Chains A and B, each alone.
Chain A
């Protein structure tokens, strides 16, 4: 039966178990680190590709353009935004901006693609979220909600959750908070976009 509960046995047993378990965890961590990093990088790359200018037949990013691999950052109201630039002949044509807000269940992180003339939201893509499955989580699957972000014309549509058939954003049924957070994330991305433009103009003026 069980070993005697004296101090020596208890210390040895706890120490041994912890040592052994740490060793296993260290091993598994080392083994899975690469696949995890690859998976995360792939999710990010896919999201960036999705939200920038694409070929008409949706077969990939627009021909003649490339996405700069370097992450750039911009600071708006003490929040740092990471962004990626799509360029054609060295001139930026679109930006993919990573924007995080607090949703219903926790952080909601989007990738938002904005054309360089600031007229269109090209597309949005959810990087990570912790919304309620079956409700807010529909922001990654609800066709009606997702499609309205694709090529959204900023001169015609207000970035505001409104009743259907007005000039705003239609919320996901029963997930108003998530929809509002989503819309806020896009607005924030726009603010970051303005900041990017400001910085570039300043550089040009100097």
Chain B
């Protein structure tokens, strides 16, 4: 597969949210607005790329029986590093996403890519794979967040559409997340099937 294909695969064909249905917890919980979705996506992207690279470099030295604990320790390290960095330099975003940042450790996308790709491929390819899947996740979360924000609070990236009142609150709350995700998935897969 071409290097470019490695990146686009995660964006479309193996899109973690709409096709593989991985990482549903942060997807549903953090996408109350486009900005939140985007920040969560980028945070996951950061961890994915670094953990993929580290795990692909470590893999030959890791005995099979202990590979899961080793991978989790590596992933948890990067997540904690990210947490410190966010707390220090982007405290606003950290305040909104706070609870969900530590949960990236148990996001199945990260461990999933480590198991399915990084431990069999070169460091560079693993980085590209992490980048692709991370971008796919980021785009999905941003789109889902944007749709919920428009319907739920009638604003786009925090910019309130002038002359409008309150949105449909259901879309900001959990049930709206499921509804939007379902419909977006239908649209996405219809578009994929046509190709």
Contacts and interface: CB of A to CB of B under 8 A. Distances in A.
Contacts of B169: 135, 173-174
B66 interface: yes
Interface residues of B, number: 39
A134 B153 contact: yes
Interface in B84-126: 84-85, 87-89, 91, 95-96, 98-99
Given A17-B70, A133-B33, A1 B81 contact: no
A134 B149 CA distance: 9
Interface of B: 30, 32-33, 36, 58-67, 69-70, 73-74, 76-77, 80-81, 84-85, 87-89, 91, 95-96, 98-99, 149, 152-153, 166, 169, 172-173
B61 A13 contact: yes
The A interface, classified by DSSP as helix, strand, loop or mixed, is helix
Contacts of B59: 2
A133 B62 contact: no
Nearest to A127: B95
26 contacts: A2-B59, A2-B60, A2-B64, A3-B60, A4-B63, A5-B63, A6-B63, A13-B63, A13-B66, A14-B69, A14-B70, A17-B58, A21-B76, A21-B77, A24-B81, A25-B80, A25-B81, A29-B84, A36-B87, A39-B87, A40-B91, A133-B33, A134-B32, A134-B153, A135-B169, A173-B166
Interface string A160-183: 000000000000011000000000
A39 B91 CA distance: 7
The B interface, classified by DSSP as helix, strand, loop or mixed, is helix
Given A3-B60, A32-B87, A32-B88, A21 B74 contact: yes
Contacts of B58: 17
Contacts of A4: 63
A9 interface: yes
A196 B80 CA distance: 41
A191 B67 CA distance: 56
